[in-house]
């Protein structure tokens, strides 16, 4: 029924995952993981699991991103490998 | 946070948005009976607003908002509310969290379940919000020492 919206979201999912793996700036990778979580939350909502999508949006895109950023304060922003 | 620079845009926007996030978090907690959401989601939302303030205005100024030393005790208080309700109903001879056995005489069983679930949701929300802020504070505290 919502296959067009789901297709767009799944393409965005792959795109954000690929960017967060490949980008050199770790802060950009963290922000991309936040976008990834939010797209996953939107997918959950499209598939009818509103409660799961809500939790994913709050915890995955909100709190986890902040905790990753705090972990970045202890580290350097650029990857060395 | 090793080098904190104060940008007026970030401070103003963070202070403007945080109360609305808190209001929506409270709405999610109290509306958990009827719709999606509940204690955990609302508590995480409250924690997100506290973390937003901590990130925007810095560690010292945000102590007026939610003190660092308050994290663990308030979290324990929330967990105590949850387990207190559950154990009171067990003491009354029922199962864990069997709300209809709460010791209020002149209230019907359906009302008891309604308010029992509400109080338990509030406890869960308090515990989740305080614990997430405490985790953030512990991680940031390591930055000052190391």
Do the interacting molecules here have an ipTM over 0.85?
no
3-state secondary structure of B94: coil
Structure tokens belonging to residue B145: 């020492």
Select from A18, A19, A64, A11 the least CA-distant residue to A37: A64
String of DSSP letters for B59-83: TTGGGGTS-GGGHHHHHHHHHHHHH
Confidence of residue B69 (pLDDT cuts 50, 70, 90): confident
Confidence of residue B142 (pLDDT cuts 50, 70, 90): low
The distance from CA A76 to its chain's CA centroid, rounded to whole angstroms, is: 21
- Interchain pair B44, A54: CB under 8 A: no
3-state secondary structure of B85: helix
pLDDT at position B146 is 40
Select from B104, B97, B121, B110 the least CA-distant residue to B31: B121
- Interchain pair B45, A58: CB under 8 A: yes
Tell me: the pLDDT tens digits for B84-137? 998 988 888 888 888 888 888 788 888 888 888 899 999 999 999 999 999 998
pLDDT at position B144 is 52
Q: Measured between beta carbons, which residues in chain A are less than 8 angstroms from residue B146?
A: 74
Q: How far is A21 from chain B (nearest CA, A)?
A: 24
Tell me: the pLDDT tens digits for B2-35? 456 678 898 899 999 999 999 999 999 998 878 8
Which residues of chain A have a pLDDT value below 70? Answer: 1, 79-81
pLDDT at B1 over 50: no
């Amino acid at each position: 029924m919502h296959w067009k919206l789901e297709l767009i979201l799944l393409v965005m999912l792959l795109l954000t995952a690929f960017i967060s793996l490949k980008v050199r700036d770790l802060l950009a990778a963290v922000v991309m993981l936040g976008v990834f979580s939010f797209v996953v939350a939107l997918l959950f909502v499209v598939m009818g699991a509103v409660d799961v999508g809500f939790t994913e949006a709050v915890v995955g895109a909100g709190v986890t991103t902040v905790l990753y950023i705090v972990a970045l304060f202890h580290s350097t922003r650029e990857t060395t490998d | 946070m090793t080098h904190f620079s104060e940008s007026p845009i970030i401070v103003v926007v963070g202070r403007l948005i945080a109360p609305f996030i808190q209001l929506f978090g409270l709405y999610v907690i109290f509306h958990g009976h009827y719709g999606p959401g509940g204690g955990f989601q609302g508590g995480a939302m409250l924690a997100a607003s506290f973390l937003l303030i901590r990130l925007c205005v810095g560690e010292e100024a945000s102590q007026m908002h939610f003190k660092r030393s308050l994290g663990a005790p308030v979290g324990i208080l929330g967990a105590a509310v949850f387990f207190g309700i559950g154990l009171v109903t067990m003491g009354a001879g029922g199962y864990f969290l069997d709300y209809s056995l709460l010791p209020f005489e002149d209230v019907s069983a359906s009302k008891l379940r309604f308010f029992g679930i509400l109080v338990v949701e509030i406890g869960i929300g308090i515990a989740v919000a305080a614990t997430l802020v405490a985790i953030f504070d512990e991680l940031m505290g390591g930055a000052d020492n190391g």
